[in-house]
Amino acid sequence: MNYMSKTILVTGSSGLVGSAIQKISPLYDYKFIFSGTKDCDLTNYEKTNAYFNKERPDIVIHLAACVGGLYKNMNNKVQMFEQNLLINYNVLKCCHNIGVEQCICVLSTCIFPDKTTYPIDETMLHNGAPHCSNDAYAYAKRMMEVHCAAYNEQYGTNYSCIIPTNIYGPYDNFSLEDGHVIPSLIHKCYLAKQQGAPFEVRGTGAPIRQFIFSQDLAVLIMESIGRLKRENMIIAPDDEYSIKDVAIMIAQEYNYEDNIVFNSIYSDGQYKKTASNTKLLEMFPKFKFTPIEQGIRESVDFFKYNYSNPNCRK
């Protein structure tokens, strides 16, 4: 294969994972098109179709989504459901329209059933309802997996879904209300220290999660091109950490670990989502994940350096 002749379109390229792919893209012999909301409104089919016909990529890495943390999912269910349905429908249909050779879509482990056995694996995606805290988002993402499978079965396309655990890193959304747990806690601890106030963590801190550094995910996505064939794959490290563990690691980066308080009035969400990485390690047996302490340090440093940029805190 002459890779230089292949064009990769990355949707949602200004976000957390898209930015990580941009950073490593010079290492790969492809032509890249990095697409964000300013380039195309993916909720609009006519605009999306015109954009895909203009760019005509060979490969699509579909990252674009309406995303947020626990409380955004709980408080904006209609928005989370409708926007993600529209984005995913339009992207997959336009991939088919122009004959894309491979499409890699990104799901999330939060879409797995709430009532299940652990560890979760790729076969268990539709074995029950997701947790009520993010059911609207989860069902929209599940439908993308169904859509990919339907295209593969009927038209012989090569559409796959990767399912990463909680992603964090530079270029994240550090919003206090809408961000995922690590970036929102990084922001909250920064403000607490500035104000000399307690670093309050919503919930008990008991839930446990697997966290993946965005740079690791970017590498694994790129290395999956040409190797992932009409299949789903969970991307997760072995280690799990409680929210309390994460809060302490973040506070240590600010030398503020003696000022943490946990507010149990707030919901913890789903207690655990332990996901199997057996399939991933069969494909990439030598891959080394970034230690979470290093990833949090880089994320805190990025946030502090970019704090004056309002887009970092939106």
Each residue's pLDDT tens digit, 122-174? 999 999 999 888 889 999 999 999 999 999 999 999 999 999 999 999 999 89
Is the Cβ–Cβ distance between 189 and 299 less than 8 Å?
no
Q: What is the pLDDT of residue 219?
A: 98
Q: What is the pLDDT of residue 272?
A: 84
pTM: 0.92
Higher local confidence (pLDDT), 37 or 86: 86
Q: What is the pLDDT of residue 293?
A: 97
- In this prediction, residue 2 has a pLDDT band, given cuts at 50, 70 and 90, of very low
Is the Cβ–Cβ distance between 64 and 42 less than 8 Å?
yes
- Within 10 Å of residue 294's Cβ, how many Cβ atoms? 10
Q: What is the pLDDT of residue 309?
A: 72
Q: What is the pLDDT of residue 40?
A: 95
Q: What does the pLDDT average to over 20-31? A: 96
Q: What is the pLDDT of residue 76?
A: 77
Is the Cβ–Cβ distance between 280 and 220 less than 8 Å?
yes
Judge whether residue 262 has pLDDT over 60. yes
Judge whether residue 237 has pLDDT over 50. yes
Q: What is the pLDDT of residue 132?
A: 85
Handedness of CA 148, 115, 221, 37 (dihedral sign): positive
> Choosing from 51, 71, 89, 137, which is the catalytic residue?
137
Tokens of 152: 């593969």
Q: What does the pLDDT average to over 239-257? A: 96
Host domain of residue 219? 3-312
What are 286-308's pLDDT values in tens digits? 999 999 999 999 999 999 999 87
Q: What is the pLDDT of residue 269?
A: 77
Judge whether residue 15 has pLDDT over 70. yes
As for how many domains the chain has, the answer is: 1
Burial bucket for residue 267 (CB in 10 Å: 0-12, 13-18, 19+): middle
- In this prediction, residue 1 has a pLDDT band, given cuts at 50, 70 and 90, of very low
For 51, phi then psi, to 5°, come to -65, -45
Is the Cβ–Cβ distance between 158 and 102 less than 8 Å?
yes
**Max avg pLDDT among 35-49, 74-88, 164-178:** 35-49
**What does the alpha-carbon distance between residue 193 and residue 125 come to, in Å, rounded to a whole number?**
41
> pLDDT over 70 for what percent of the chain?
96
**What does the alpha-carbon distance between residue 273 and residue 307 come to, in Å, rounded to a whole number?**
31
Q: What does the pLDDT average to over 202-216? A: 95
Q: Which of 218, 93, 79, 185 is nearest to 140 (CA)?
A: 79
CATH of the domain at 195: 3.40.50.720
Whether 137 is catalytic: yes
- In this prediction, residue 66 has a pLDDT band, given cuts at 50, 70 and 90, of confident
